[in-house]
Structure 1
Amino acid sequence: MKNILITGGAGFIGSNLALKLITKGYVVTVLDNLSTQIHGDNPQETSPLYRSIIGKVNFINGSVTSKRNWEKALIGQDVIVHLAAETGTGQSMYEIQKYVDVNINGTAIMLDILANNPNQVKKIIIASSRSIYGEGKYKSIEKGIVYPKHRTEASMNNGDFSVTYFGCDSPLELMATDEESKIHPSSVYGITKQNQEQMIMTVCPTLGIFPVAFRYQNVYGPGQSLKNPYTGILSIFSTQIKNGNGINIFEDGKETRDFVFIDDVVDATILGIEREEANGEVFNVGTGIAIDVITVATTLVENYGVEVPITITGNYRLGDIRHNFADMTKIAEKLNFKPKYSFSQGIKKFTDWVNKQDVENDNYAKSIEEMKSRGLLK
């Protein structure tokens, strides 16, 4: 299996994956529409991600919503790594049709072609997301393992950002989400990732194609887009700091995420391509460690050596979750995967890289106003 198609292969994960695969002797084709939100107005000049792969891969400038582009890209491929997607929890709540068209319909077009035309595809890797877990997994003294519903606007308006479950009076204990945890996304983005994963895992076996799903946590590292104000807390905060602007932290700053370094994500994905043990399986890809947003902000400020005010605002976004971190037991046992980078190691590599980049315009305020105008930011 030497011919690999990466959709979204000019993006952050895709470009890093492509470069690593090339060093291992694979022939890589990339299908990417070079989204302005990620790559800028003139990708040939403004996108380091695109420029890192051009001339090294077979590049197709096209969209996964185009049947013609898919038909061209699929010729001669052994493996598909399907990364192309609209990303961003907040934005997905008011660009609903766009997220459904790209993420769900784009995947459906691919599967339609494979189901109705001769091909040599043997495996499909689908990029799923931790967002499908919604509020995640908790332990209650009264009820044992519980999966809370979305937090209510009324509670958060009163400054209560905690996660609760009906019939539980004692505080809930946060637990890592394993692959058997309940799937109940709290955003349109999460819903589309759930649909993508389920379509791949359901349809591929009927076509004689091995499916593998990776539920990526918050991926970060050198090379990620600093232009996109809609997703990627490390990029957003970094751009604010570099512009000398203060950081406004939502809720009480104690909300947590599992931050996983890009090199670890690439290594896990390649294991999914190469290892038969991955066939038909779903895996978390993270570190298994929850980092709160205050720690993220203070670490970035310290690493950049730029003093900017950090404000805990109490604002919140509808659709955001409180906590999530991955149970890494399954991927360790089946694929012998263990992340190499701690948060402190990875963040140092990331900030060292940012320090070498031109300072991007801080467009975060614009994205916030868009959410406010639609009633999604409180």
Structure 2
Amino acid sequence: IRKVVVASSMSVYGEGAYSCNNCGKVYPKIRSLEQFKKNDWEMKCPNCNIDVMPIPTDEDKPLFPTSIYAVSKRDHEEMFLIIGRAYQIPTVALRFFNVYGPRQALSNPYTGVAAIFSSRLMNDKPPIIFEDGNQARDFIHVSDIVQACILAIEKSEGDYQVFNVGTGRKLSVLDVANVLMDKLSFKGEPQIVNRFREGDIRHCYADISLIKKILGYEPKVKFEDGIIDLVNWVKLQKAEDKVNFAIDILDKKGLTK
């Protein structure tokens, strides 16, 4: 084994980094049930309790996984880095942000929102959006993920380090839904349910300054171009919509509020 590149995830952070007008940079962890009952979706400062604004999240942000998936990703990257150091096997952990693009599983209701929304639209159904739709993510085209993996393999400067792989740009989930509805010629409106799923975060987008500096990574595909690439592929596929089935399971297990 000459090198290992671990596919980790932005989910290890839980919530992203935020800026408070009173307290500066802060790391709020979770929102309260009382907030959800009032449809108050935004994060609060953990010190003074005012609304805070999302800022780019760097690799030094304390990890606070909010799902079993996120815990498994955190443990995954830590185990590989420990084993790599112990056996002198160069290892790099890449924290992928929200990946989209051709060949994403369209019939898996637990994949990324771009694929989930596309599956709904291909079945002439509106995208279902939790909370108010303004939650922000960093959407990165799969070809830029490939670029990051190749750089991590080829460049020794990144050995035994952890890197964010994103674009550094935040987009709301509602914006993504609206773009897909336009490109797939859907005439209705998204279904905004004003409900919360356990484990969901409000905002997180990448600070990519470290991977740019160390590995020379530079995202090449703008969302406006990458989404057309996805749509052109989606139009040639058959997608089975299983979103309502997945939501029913969450409801029965008490994981939606």
Q: Which whole-Å deviations, capped at 9, do the CAs of 1:84-142 have from their partners, x for residues lacking one?
A: xxxxxxxxxxxxxxxxxxxxxxxxxxxxxxxxxxxxx1211111110011111112232
Listed one character per residue, the Cα deviations across residues 138-178 of structure 1 (whole Å, up to 9, x for unaligned) are 12232222110111222112101110123324431211111
Structure number with greater CO (CA < 8 Å, separation at least 6) is 2
What does the per-residue CA deviation read over 1:170-212, in whole Å, with 9 as the maximum and x for residues that have no partner? 4312111111111111111111111111111122111111110
Distance (Å, rounded) in 2 between the aligned partners of 1:153 and 1:231: 26
Which blocks of at least 5 consecutive residues in structure 2 are unaligned? none
Which residue in the other structure is 1:6 paired with? none
- In 1, Cα distance between the equivalents of 2:117 and 2:150? 30
Give 1:131's aligned residue. 11
Alignment of 1:199-214 (within 5 A): 199-214=79-94
Amino acid at match of 1:237: F
1:371 alignment partner AA:
L
Counterpart position of 1:366: 245
- Cross-structure match for 2:136: 256
Q: Tell me the amino acid that sits aligned with residue 127 of structure 1.
A: A
SS at match of 1:345: helix
Larger Rg belongs to = 1
Deviations 1:298-320 (A, max 9, x none): 10010011223312210110110
Who is 1:216 aligned against?
96
Check the 8 A contact 1:225/1:235 in 2, yes or no.
yes
2:153 to 246, 270, 273: 273
* Native 8 Å contact 2:105 2:111 kept in 1: no
CA contact (8 A) 1:247 1:308 kept: no
Alignment match, 1:29: none
Question: What is the aligned partner in structure 2 of residue 312 from structure 1?
Answer: 192
1:281-330 C-alpha deviation (Å, 9 max, x unpaired): 11100101111011011100100112233122101101100011000101
Report how far residue 247 of structure 1 moved: 2.1
Q: How many residues align?
A: 257
What TM-score results when the alignment is normalised by the length of structure 1?
0.66
Identity of aligned pairs, percent?
A: 38
AA matched with 1:211: T
Query: Distance between the aligned counterparts of 1:247 and 1:125, measured in 2?
Result: 34
Structure 1 gap ranges (5+): 1-120
Q: TM-score, length-normalised on structure 2?
A: 0.97
Check the 8 A contact 2:164/2:208 in 1, yes or no: yes
The alpha-carbon distance between structure 1 residues 306 and 173, as it changes in their structure 2 partners (threshold 3 A), is closer
* C-alpha distance in 2 between matches for 1:173 and 1:162: 9
Q: CA RMSD in A?
A: 1.1
1:345 aligns with 2:231: no
